[in-house]
Amino acid sequence: MKVYYWSPHTSYVATIKAVYNSALSLTKYNKENFIVKIINANGEWDSFINKDVSLVNLNKKCAFKTYPRVGYFFSRVSYIYIFLKCFFPLKKLLRTEKPDYLLIHLITLLPIILVLLFKFETKFILRISGYPKLNFFRKLIWKLVSKKIYLVTAPTLLTLNYIKSQNIFDEKKIIFLPDPVYQIREITNLKNELVEEYIDKNKKYIISIGRLTKQKNFSLLIKAFYEIKKIDDQFKLIIIGEGEDKKYLDSLILNLNLQNDIMLLGFKKNVFKYIKLSNLVLSTSLWEDPGFFLIESGILNKPIISSDCPNGPSELLGYGLGGYLFKNNQLNSLIEIFKKFTFESEIEINDKIYLSKRKFRQFSIFNHYKILKNIIE
């Protein structure tokens, strides 16, 4: 059985890891029955080449490194470029290689338009995450394609219920499929690697990971950390990620005189070794789905404070039973929750960690494989 993945991207977002891990799960646990390939639209998947997951190149020329990435406008330019460049090559690929399934993750409009205009033997499976804005155009496209799409998958129950409530797709076609966020062997191997930066063992560390963009709301985190230092001066802050907000965040750190207490480390291939040394995980995202960093941190037995944002953290943290939730984008609420965390006993904190870890098990690669296998076999 041929299973192909469509997920072209212009920057490194968490969904990329989900796509790779999903493909890996099929080859790892059932290689004999599946031919698995990720469609490499313009060279964006080149760095993922290995013996476990195969790529099928759509275009000969690699354009990924030349994509404009900074800002909403330029990301839309890249989106349009991918759409136009890949329209006919993708059509040809589906007609010639005839995969049994095409799992659609990013830049979903292109395969959706193709399935509306042409007939294929391939069954299309569309992943929908978060609470997508249903403007007139998107709602129209989804209604037109609803009967031609084989299945729709949602990575969280909140998204699942949201999609069902829109009455666009047949409820029988909407499936809960948790993202394959982690594999225990990978975490075990990577968490014990040495950290290159100087770490003061006499200090306590808060960690946050994500792209330096509006979504992650790191400006709120830095402002909150300024207040946290007044409560407990032993804390330092580690932020891992890169993005368009870097210059603004650097200036904010300088203005608050926190340059000796905040480490902006940029992109790190291995985040687990940094999570391991931290004492607290803090997410200030304006929206998530579901929140890969939170899941990875929970598996490493770390206490978590997160914004109660759409659409993953509240579900992941058991609506507060498995972690600490503050009102989305509210500085005062974050500070109050931090104070609550500092006052709780080690037993109370460990109880929350235990409950969240049980919830996070559904995001393992093996659990994802079991559900996906039942869908496509």
CATH code where residue 199 lies: 3.40.50.2000
**Quick check: 285 and 210 in contact, CB under 8 A?**
yes
Residue 68 predicted with pLDDT over 70: no
Q: Which domain holds residue 217?
A: 185-361
| Model pLDDT for residues 187-213, shown as the tens digit of each residue | 888 998 889 898 898 999 999 999 999
Tell me: do 68 and 213 sit in the same domain.
no
The tally of domains found in the chain comes to 2
For 10-44, the DSSP string reads SS--HHHHHHHHHHHHHHHHHTTT-EEEEEESSST
d(CA 141, CA 155): 21
Tell me: do 155 and 258 sit in the same domain.
no
Strand partners, 307: 326
d(CA 33, CA 43): 27
Residue 355 predicted with pLDDT over 70: yes
Strands (E), 243-347: 262-264, 280-283, 304-307, 324-326
Residue 307: the pLDDT is 96
| Model pLDDT for residues 47-66, shown as the tens digit of each residue | 877 767 899 998 877 766 66
d(CA 326, CA 319): 11
Residue 30: the pLDDT is 84
Tell me: do 170 and 190 sit in the same domain.
no
- pTM of the predicted model, to two decimals? 0.89
Report the SS3 class of residue 153.
Answer: strand
Tell me: do 137 and 33 sit in the same domain.
yes
State the pLDDT confidence band at 72, using cuts at 50, 70 and 90. low
Residue 76 predicted with pLDDT over 90: no
| Model pLDDT for residues 3-27, shown as the tens digit of each residue | 999 999 877 778 888 999 999 999 9
How far are the Cα atoms of 125, 238, 360, 362 from residue 373, in angstroms, in the given order? 13, 39, 20, 15
Which amino acid, 45?
W
Tell me: do 237 and 372 sit in the same domain.
no
Average pLDDT over residues 72-101: 88
Geometric angle at alpha carbon 13, from 237 and 151, rounded to 5°? 135
State the pLDDT confidence band at 42, using cuts at 50, 70 and 90. confident
Average pLDDT over residues 36-45: 91
d(CA 56, CA 42): 11
CA atoms within 13 A on the CB side of 224: 26
Tell me: do 230 and 163 sit in the same domain.
no
**Quick check: 197 and 263 in contact, CB under 8 A?**
yes
| Model pLDDT for residues 241-296, shown as the tens digit of each residue | 988 899 999 999 999 999 999 999 999 989 999 999 999 999 999 998 888 999 99
**Quick check: 337 and 324 in contact, CB under 8 A?**
yes
Tell me: do 39 and 175 sit in the same domain.
yes
| Model pLDDT for residues 106-137, shown as the tens digit of each residue | 889 999 999 999 999 999 999 999 888 888 88
d(CA 159, CA 165): 10
Residue 294: the pLDDT is 94
Average pLDDT over residues 30-38: 88
Residue 67 predicted with pLDDT over 80: no
Tell me: do 195 and 333 sit in the same domain.
yes
Residue 94 predicted with pLDDT over 90: yes
Residue 74: the pLDDT is 67
Tell me: do 179 and 90 sit in the same domain.
yes
Tell me: do 138 and 205 sit in the same domain.
no
Residues whose CB is less than 8 angstroms from the CB of residue 348 and which lie 6 or more positions away in sequence, other chains included: none
Tell me: do 158 and 247 sit in the same domain.
no
Tell me: do 53 and 136 sit in the same domain.
yes
State the pLDDT confidence band at 325, using cuts at 50, 70 and 90. very high
